[in-house]
Amino acid sequence: MIPSVTCLIAATAVPRELALPLPLNSWELEIILVALFLLHILFVNLMVGGSLLTALFEIMGLTWPRYDSLARRIGATITVNKSLAVVLGVGPLLAINLLYTTYFYSANVLTGYAWLGLVPLIILVFLLTYLHKFTWDRWTGPKKRRHIALGIASAVLFLCIPLVFLSNINLMLFPGQWSQVAGFFSSLQIGNVFPRYFHFLMASLAITGLFLAGWFGRKGFPVEHYLPEFTRPQLRRLFYRVTFYVTLAQVLFGPLLLLTLPAIGVTYTLVIVISIGVIIAATVMVLLWAELRTSDRAIGRYYVPILMIFTLVVVFMATGRHVYREASLTDHRALMANRSDTFRAVNLAAHMRLDAGLGLGEALAPGPTGKSVFKNCAACHAYDRVLAGPSITEVQQIYAGDIAGIVAWTRNPGKKRDQFAPMPSFAHLGDEQLQLVAEYILQMGQEKTNAETTPTGS
């Protein structure tokens, strides 16, 4: 029974790349992705770090009331930062959809309900954050602990959102392990999700501390009105300490993150980029330490240099993430490209065979003999007719007695003739099957020659 064109095409290897043109060059989209992601993640860091510090200082306010006032001022920044995080998240999301379409959407499907639940989760946590913000004066006295519980609940939910995003982005880097995933919780076992997550939390607190040191320490902020229990230098020193000690903790989490990265994406380039980032981070630590040891009158003099150097550290770390992402997907992208080329070649060959009146032949399926493996070749190569590739008789003339040559070509073919589309690689069949099909191709030539030279009746 001759299968239809649909059956023939369906029998080819998947997944295949989507043959859709990009609006820009891939390198331009990569630059846009990294730049927009940095803007987005900045406000995500401030949102998460702000919610954690708000909850912490409000709890401290039960013993030291001045920290309750500080928590309220920090909490007032969360709603602004979360709005900016959402708006600025659209750009990198579109860029990653364009650059990593197959990988990103596959990860979305595999994380299942957790990914689908992000939108209602985000809506819920935003509503809780506004409720916490606008009930600060109303939920006092006996209701204060209820207000604190609301702040803690908001902070916990804020922690859940980046965990789902991180597990999804992490999962897309390891397509070889997708078969092991059965939902969100199993996806947490792929790669090094938790070291990356702890690194993110530390970075959120460090960035938030540096932001608040500038926000409350700026000349235009009315400290005497909103936080009369604090002086401007005290606020700077407090949040410098947060940034310093959390960044110091990164000295532990940073190597842990690097050592737990799956080796598939670790390259010399990655190590160099991360190492430069670490060296620059050491400069930030020195300047922060100098600020902590200086007098109240002089504190803040290094704030702008610290901010600029810290930004440079973040740029190097974000670049390192992108370098790892590209390296980890290199081999799989090559496989997808090969399968896409195979699909296009088979599709073209099927139509050419029909036009030549040869029929489609058997469905493509490798087997243990040269003849059965040749089914992978028959779509494009007829014995004595030119289809999507040269005829078998021509191949026999080129590779007479050279089985190794046929194997080498089928493993890594190139483009020799303008009239033919590039032949896809069949390295995925393995050397054993390529050896079988090479022997079969040359045997076909020998059998044909014997048939023509043997006298009738002998």
pLDDT number for residue 356: 59
Q: What is the CATH number of domain 26-337?
A: 1.20.1630
Query: How high does pLDDT run on average in the chain?
Result: 84
pLDDT number for residue 168: 92
pLDDT number for residue 354: 65
Positive/negative CA dihedral, 397, 399, 401, 406: negative
Distances (CA, A) of 69 to 60, 133, 137, 229, 234: 11, 12, 11, 9, 14
Which pair of tokens denotes residue 300?
């803040």
Res 244 pLDDT > 60: yes
**pLDDT confidence of 90, banded at 50, 70, 90?**
very high
Q: Which fold has domain 365-453?
A: Cytochrome Bc1 Complex; Chain D, domain 2 (1.10.760)
pLDDT number for residue 66: 94
pLDDT number for residue 40: 95
Q: Read off the pTM.
A: 0.76
Higher pLDDT, 374 or 346: 374
Residue 126 to residue 47: CA distance in whole angstroms: 11
**pLDDT confidence of 390, banded at 50, 70, 90?**
confident
- Let me know the angle formed at the C-alpha of 30 by 423 and 317, rounded to the nearest 5 degrees: 125
Residue 147 to residue 183: CA distance in whole angstroms: 34
Instruction: Encode pLDDT of 7-27 as tens digits.
Output: 333 333 336 676 678 888 888
Measured from the Cβ of residue 74, the count of other Cβ atoms closer than 10 Å reads 24
**pLDDT confidence of 3, banded at 50, 70, 90?**
very low
26-337 and 365-453: same fold?
no
Name the residue among 82, 239, 205, 75 with its Cα closest to residue 151: 75
The stretches of 173-299 forming alpha helices (DSSP H) are: 184-187, 193-217, 223-226, 232-260, 268-293
Higher pLDDT, 14 or 34: 34
**pLDDT confidence of 61, banded at 50, 70, 90?**
very high
Domain extent listing, the chain:
26-337, 365-453
Which pair of tokens denotes residue 206?
């460090």
pLDDT number for residue 258: 83
